[in-house]
């Protein structure tokens, strides 16, 4: 009896343990998100932004006062401050012109009026189905001086090149690339001082999905309204919260989920997702495939946190993002946005004049700052039904359940025919189904769990039948002496 009891209880405990383990496996535990899923979850919600400032500009014709330069050089040679050989004189003349351009650029008195524009392009991400977008402030906000300088570059480029050719011909030598670049920048600055810019009009266009053709056609863009904008960041002054909230008209739009930056630590893995500029796609990491028509996911890490005025911090990262990536979301390992890409720091090669970014100095405004701006204008982040269904489809796709995934993606397309990249997924699902790669979605794990539970129930019944009931039958009845067996019947009376 004792052995039978031990065997029954051992069987019961084994089945209970197996049931617990299988049920835990069926629940899946902590969900692991792959990099492909992070990319697929979020790329429909990434937008390409182009902000353009236009104005009528009065452009003066400027001449270089060569007589003044000759007079200055003569005085310098006579005083002994400049050697009398030709190379020394020419170098001194160039340095003087670059150092004091305002003394030698003279308006001719003639002006022309042109309609000019200045523009900037970058990224943003949608945070609710109604069309609110987060981006960097400098994507939609620029100072008057910056706008004038950009317009001067466009308006005066040809004139300054002509002046450069004339200067080189007149002096009889060719400037180095570095000197020529300094000459051009100096010319732009001087032209900007003399430009008269009329009323400036600003327009921000938003493009989603495959942008190669859309970005070339303004009619395919959606006009964005600026809801709130901070100041472009100034790292030297440690000021400026480079955040802007925009709004486009729409419904059932794809979204990027916001995370929590309070748990972001130095060394944590992060991702950037956006439409990369050519410079970004040629990063020295060697791991980025240039992709002009859709957002590209790049991988990096948090290099540190940098204090700004007011006590808040920017995220400092080592990640292959360059100019043109401003406004891109910085994502954590769950695929949630924990920051907004804002700027990179650069260094200049003294010999070539070429600029390059510093690997560990790419900066993002933390999402907590974004949420503070959102609260000030009563904007909230939310996930619409279309995005929820789409993400379910992405998960099914990642598990090779292509038929079920295709159904989800088709539902999304029926809800929003313009949902970015949705047709690509439907096509790929069908291709994999045709190749016989679909695993289907029969709930084998659920069936196994039910069978294990049924086995446990049967085991309990077996224990009751084999142990509990027989044991109860062995208990002593009324009038019985325990361990003595039943009382014998009375002896018959004597004859």
**Residue ranges covered by each domain of the chain:** 2-23+442-469, 384-434
pLDDT at 146: 85
Q: Which residues pair with 48 in a beta bridge?
A: 123, 207
Alpha-carbon distance 46 to 293, whole Å?
A: 12
pLDDT for position 211: 64
CA distance 242 to 136: 5
pLDDT tens track for 328-349: 999 999 999 999 998 766 555 5
Span 145-154, mean pLDDT?
80
Nearest C-alpha neighbor of 46 from the set 423, 340, 426 = 340
By the 8 A CB rule, do 206 and 133 touch?
yes
d(CA 364, CA 315): 5
Distances (CA, A) of 144 to 149, 226, 405: 9, 18, 51
What does the pLDDT average to over 221-231? 93
Phi-psi region of 488 (alpha: psi -120 to 50; beta: other; left: phi over 0): beta
| Separation of alpha carbons 397 and 40, rounded Å | 10
Its pTM stands at 0.73
| Residue percentage of the chain with pLDDT more than 70 | 72
Q: Is the pLDDT of residue 231 over 60?
A: yes
CB 129 within 8 A of CB 418: no
**Percent of the chain whose predicted confidence (pLDDT) is above 90:** 40
DSSP 8-state code for residue 204: E
d(CA 79, CA 75): 6
Nearest-angstrom CA–CA distance, 44 and 275: 12
Burial class from Cβ neighbours inside 10 Å (0-12, 13-18, 19+) for residue 410 reads middle
Assess whether pLDDT exceeds 60 at residue 1.
Answer: no
SS3 sequence of 329-346: EEECCCCCEEEEEEEEEE
Position 456 confidence tier, pLDDT thresholds 50, 70, 90: low
As a whole number of Å, the CA-based R_g of the chain is 37
Angle between helices 86-99 and 66-79 (to 10 degrees): 120
pLDDT tier, 457 (very low <50, low <70, confident <90, very high otherwise): low
| Calpha distance 184→164 (Å, rounded) | 8
Average pLDDT, whole number, for the chain? 80
* Bridge partners, 356 (sequence order): 347
* Tokens, residue 477: 């009845």
HSE of 375, CA atoms in CB hemisphere, 13 A:
6
Among the listed ranges 191-200, 263-272, 346-355, which one has the minimum average pLDDT value? 346-355
d(CA 415, CA 407) in angstroms, rounded, equals 12
Q: Note the pLDDT of residue 111.
A: 85
Side-chain-side CA neighbours of 276 within 13 Å: the count stands at 19
**Residue 387 confidence (pLDDT) above 60:** yes
- What is the model's pLDDT at position 156? 74
Tell me 294's DSSP state: S
pLDDT of residue 280: 42
Looking at residue 14, its pLDDT comes to 61
Neighbours of 336 (CB within 10 A): 19
Distance CA 45, CA 384 (A): 12
For the segment 259-307, what is each residue's pLDDT rounded down to a tens digit? 999 999 999 999 999 987 644 444 333 333 335 678 999 999 999 998 8
More confident residue, 39 or 25: 39
Structure confidence at residue 113 (pLDDT) = 86
| Cα dihedral 289/295/299/303 (nearest 10) | 120
CA 8, CA 10: separation in Å to the nearest integer? 5
For the chain, count helices (H), then strands (E): 13, 14
pLDDT of residue 219 exceeding 90, the answer is no
Q: How many Å apart are CA 145 and CA 166, to the nearest integer?
A: 28
How many whole angstroms separate alpha carbon 223 and alpha carbon 245? 14
**Would you give the DSSP letter of residue 251?**
S
* Confidence at residue 284, expressed as pLDDT on a 0 to 100 scale: 39
Token code pair at residue 368: 């907590």
Instruction: Between 385 and 349, name the one with better pLDDT.
Output: 385
In 3-state terms, what secondary structure has residue 160? helix
In this structure, how many other beta carbons lie within 10 angstroms of the beta carbon of residue 333? 15
Hey, which residues does 205 pair with through a beta bridge? 50, 223
Is residue 436 left, alpha or beta, with left meaning phi > 0 and alpha meaning psi from -120 to 50? left
């Amino acid at each position: 009896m004792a052995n039978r009891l031990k065997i029954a209880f051992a069987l019961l405990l084994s089945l209970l343990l197996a049931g617990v383990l299988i049920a835990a496996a069926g629940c899946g535990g902590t969900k692991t998100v792959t990099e492909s899923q992070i990319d697929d979850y979020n790329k429909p919600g990434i937008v390409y932004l182009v902000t353009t400032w236009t104005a009528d500009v009065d452009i003066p014709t400027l001449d270089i006062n060569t007589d003044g330069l000759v007079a200055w050089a003569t005085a310098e040679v006579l005083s002994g401050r400049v050697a009398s050989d030709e190379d020394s004189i020419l170098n001194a003349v160039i340095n003087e012109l670059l150092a004091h351009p305002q003394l030698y650029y003279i308006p001719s008195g003639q002006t022309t009026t042109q309609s000019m524009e200045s523009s900037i392009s970058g990224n943003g991400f949608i945070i609710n189905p109604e069309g609110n977008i987060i981006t960097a402030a400098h994507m939609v906000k620029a100072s008057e001086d910056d706008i004038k300088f950009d317009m001067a570059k466009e308006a005066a480029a040809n004139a300054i090149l002509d002046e450069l050719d004339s200067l080189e011909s007149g002096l009889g030598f060719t400037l180095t690339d570095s000197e020529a670049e300094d000459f051009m920048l100096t010319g732009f600055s001087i032209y900007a001082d003399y430009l008269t810019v009329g009323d400036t009009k600003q327009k921000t266009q938003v493009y989603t999905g495959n942008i190669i053709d859309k970005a070339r056609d303004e009619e395919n863009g959606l006009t964005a309204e600026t809801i709130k904008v901070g100041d472009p960041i100034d790292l030297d002054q440690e000021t400026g919260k480079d955040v802007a909230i925009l709004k486009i008209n729409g419904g059932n739009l794809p979204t990027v989920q916001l995370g929590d930056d309070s748990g972001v630590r130095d060394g944590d893995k992060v991702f950037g997702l956006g439409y990369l500029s050519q410079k970004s796609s040629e990063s020295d990491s060697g791991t980025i495939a240039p992709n002009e028509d859709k957002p590209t996911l790049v991988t990096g890490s948090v290099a540190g946190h940098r204090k700004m005025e007011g006590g808040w911090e920017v995220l400092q990262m080592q990640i292959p993002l360059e100019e043109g990536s401003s406004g891109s979301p910085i994502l954590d390992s769950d695929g949630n946005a924990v920051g907004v890409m804002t700027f990179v720091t650069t260094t200049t090669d003294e010999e070539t004049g070429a600029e390059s970014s510093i690997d560990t100095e790419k900066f993002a405004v933390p999402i907590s700052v974004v949420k503070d701006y959102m609260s000030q204008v009563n904007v909230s982040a939310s996930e619409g039904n279309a995005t929820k269904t789409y993400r379910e489809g992405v998960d099914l796709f990642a598990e090779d359940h292509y038929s079920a995934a295709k159904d989800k993606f088709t539902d999304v397309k029926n809800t929003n025919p313009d949902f970015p990249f949705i047709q690509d997924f439907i096509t790929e699902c069908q291709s994999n189904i045709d190749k016989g790669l679909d695993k289907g979605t029969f709930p084998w794990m659920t069936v196994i769990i039910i069978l294990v539970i049924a086995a446990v129930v049967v085991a309990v019944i077996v224990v009751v039948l084999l142990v509990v009931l027989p044991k109860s039958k062995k208990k002593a009845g009324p009038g019985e002496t325990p361990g003595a067996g039943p009382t014998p019947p009375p002896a018959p009376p004597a004859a």
